[in-house]
């Protein structure tokens, strides 16, 4: 049995309240966001490149958050995002 739309909406709102946008930027078709999840106590850098449609989601420690935020695609090999891994593998000769 699936949950009701009202219950799913309530859970979604609760989940969103636990996410904090610590930093975000957009330039040259690339959007990067550093998110703190209060509940899970995790930091994640999300990045999307509009030109290539590549995206990454990289869990980071506090010590490395700033570096990964500045250069997210340099750390793409650590991405949790399946779409990036799939895109890069399909481009290999």
Interval 11-70: pLDDT, tens: 656 667 899 999 999 999 999 999 999 999 999 999 999 999 999 999 999 999 999 999
Residue 83 CB contacts under 8 Å (≥ 6 apart), including other chains: 54, 55
Other beta carbons less than 10 A from residue 35's beta carbon: 16
Q: Is residue 1 a part of any domain in this protein?
A: no
Contact 43, 33 (CB under 8 A): no
Provide the domain limits for residue 66.
19-91
Q: Is residue 76 a part of any domain in this protein?
A: yes
Q: How many domains does the chain have?
A: 1
The DSSP output letter for 2 is P
Prediction pTM value: 0.73
* Cα Rg, the chain, nearest whole Å: 15
Q: Is residue 5 a part of any domain in this protein?
A: no
């Amino acid at each position: 049995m699936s949950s009701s739309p009202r219950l799913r909406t309530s859970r979604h709102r609760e989940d969103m309240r636990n996410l904090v946008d610590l930093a975000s930027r957009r330039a040259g078709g690339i959007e990067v966001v550093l998110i703190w999840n209060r509940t899970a106590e995790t930091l994640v850098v999300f990045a999307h490149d509009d030109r290539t449609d590549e995206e990454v989601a990289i869990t980071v420690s506090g010590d490395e958050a700033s570096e990964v935020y500045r250069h997210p695609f340099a750390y793409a090999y650590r991405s949790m995002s399946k779409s990036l891994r799939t895109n890069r593998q399909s481009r290999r000769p």
